[in-house]
Structure 1
Amino acid sequence: MDARFLGITEVTETPAVAVVIDVMRAFTVAAWAFGQGAEKIVLAESLDEALTLKAEHPDWVALKDGPPAPGFDTVNSPGKLRWLDLTGRTVVQKTTAGTVGALAVKEASLVLCAGFVVADATARLLRTRTGDTVTFLVTGEDGQADEDRACAEYIARRATEPRTDPADFLRRAAESRAAAELTECVRQGVHPDDVALCLELDRFPFAMVAALEDTLMVLRPTYEAAQPAHEPATGPGEEPR
Structure 2
Amino acid sequence: MDARFVGIPELVEAPSVAVVVDVMRAFTVAAWAFAQGAEKIVLAGSLDEALALKEQHPDWVALKDGPAAPGFDLVNSPGLLRSVDLGGRTVVQKTTAGTVGALAVKDASLVLCASFVVAEATARVLRGSDTVTFVVTGEDGQADEDLACAQYIARRATEDGTDVAGFVRRAAESRAATELAEGVREGVHPDDVALCLEVDRFPFAMVAASDGPLMVLRPRTVPPVTEESAPATRAGRPAC
Alpha carbons 1:206, 1:226 under 8 Å: kept: no
Aligned position for 2:175: 177
Q: Can you give the 5+ residue segments of structure 1 that lack an aligned partner in the other structure?
A: 228-241
- Quote how far apart the aligned CAs of 1:191 are: 0.3
Aligned position for 1:193: 191
Residues in 1 aligned to 2:45 and 2:197: alpha-carbon distance in whole angstroms: 27
Q: 1:131-146 residue pairs with structure 2 within 5 A?
A: 132-146=130-144
Secondary structure of the corresponding residue to residue 30 of structure 1: helix
For residues 196-238 of structure 1, what are the alpha-carbon distances to aligned partners after superposition, in whole Å with 9 as ceiling and x for unaligned? 00000000000000000000000000013457xxxxxxxxxxx
> Which residue identity lines up with residue 173 of structure 1 in the other structure?
A
Residues in 1 aligned to 2:40 and 2:224: alpha-carbon distance in whole angstroms: 19
Alpha carbons 1:139, 1:148 under 8 Å: kept: yes
Alpha carbons 2:144, 2:174 under 8 Å: kept: yes
For residues 25-66 of structure 1, what are the alpha-carbon distances to aligned partners after superposition, in whole Å with 9 as ceiling and x for unaligned? 000000000000000000000000000000000000000000
Aligned position for 1:15: 15
Residues in 2 aligned to 1:110 and 1:142: alpha-carbon distance in whole angstroms: 22
Alpha carbons 1:125, 1:225 under 8 Å: kept: no
Q: 1:1-241 residue pairs with structure 2 within 5 A?
A: 1-127=1-127, 129-130=128-129, 132-226=130-224
> Which residue identity lines up with residue 219 of structure 2 in the other structure?
P
Residues in 1 aligned to 2:99 and 2:224: alpha-carbon distance in whole angstroms: 24
Alpha carbons 1:207, 1:226 under 8 Å: kept: no
Structure 1 residues 52 and 226, CA gap change in structure 2 (3 angstroms):
farther
Secondary structure of the corresponding residue to residue 20 of structure 1: strand
For residues 134-170 of structure 1, what are the alpha-carbon distances to aligned partners after superposition, in whole Å with 9 as ceiling and x for unaligned? 0000000000000000000000001001220000000
Residues in 1 aligned to 2:193 and 2:118: alpha-carbon distance in whole angstroms: 15
> Which residue identity lines up with residue 73 of structure 1 in the other structure?
D
Residues in 1 aligned to 2:214 and 2:112: alpha-carbon distance in whole angstroms: 16
Residues in 2 aligned to 1:151 and 1:226: alpha-carbon distance in whole angstroms: 20
Residues in 1 aligned to 2:160 and 2:34: alpha-carbon distance in whole angstroms: 25
Residues in 2 aligned to 1:27 and 1:186: alpha-carbon distance in whole angstroms: 20
Q: Can you give the 5+ residue segments of structure 2 that lack an aligned partner in the other structure?
A: 226-240
Residues in 1 aligned to 2:113 and 2:224: alpha-carbon distance in whole angstroms: 15
Size of the alignment, in residue pairs? 225
Secondary structure of the corresponding residue to residue 160 of structure 1: coil
Residues in 1 aligned to 2:3 and 2:217: alpha-carbon distance in whole angstroms: 22
Alpha carbons 1:63, 1:73 under 8 Å: kept: yes
Secondary structure of the corresponding residue to residue 106 of structure 1: coil
